[in-house]
Amino acid sequence: MISQSERKASTLKRLRRISHVLDNAIPIPGTKFRFGIDPLLGLIPGGGDTLSAFFAAYIIWESAKLGLPKEILIKMFSNILFDTFVGSVPVAGDLFDVAWKANAKNVDLLEEHLQLPQSTKKADKWFLFLLLIGLILFVAIVGTISVLLISFLFSLVTGNR
């Protein structure tokens, strides 16, 4: 039988791996900078940022299951909202994604909490449910606006209305 501490360690390792792939997996030759697939996914209008947000939501979900309090989950949520909002700007948003690394920030928040055992009350399931529904709605709205804006700009450039 797997102990609770082994389960936490396994979950943390998995979340670190996901975060690394999303934010730091690819080194830029000749520099100390790295980026992941998050900014590359962002190049796909509408859908890429949505896919990235689902990975981010998974990190938040698993973090909540590990007992994070509402305050830290709200910080994680705001990191993703900011990443999604700014990341939705074509090209400039993808460059921003290279530097912001919301998923790495969120895993760092999780690790900090797990290293400093505190007597904080973990978030309840309804709070987490509402938080994730809010994230999904926000991402859907931003994605829809991005697609509509790109379609509008394309029609202006091509003259097809």
Identify which of 4, 34, 2, 1 has the alpha carbon closest to the alpha carbon of residue 19: 34
For the chain, the average pLDDT equals 86
What pLDDT does residue 90 have? 73
Bridge partners of 122, per DSSP, are 69
Element spanning 68, H or E: none
pLDDT digits over 71-119, tens only?
999 999 999 989 888 877 777 877 888 888 999 999 999 999 988 766 6
Furthest CA-CA distance within the chain: 65
- For 40-71, the pLDDT digits (tens) are 887 776 677 778 888 999 999 999 988 888 89
Contact 143, 47 (CB under 8 A): yes
Share of the chain above pLDDT 70, in %: 96
Q: What percent of the chain is modeled with pLDDT above 90? A: 34
The one-character DSSP state at 101 is: -
Per-residue confidence (pLDDT) for residue 34, from 0 to 100: 92
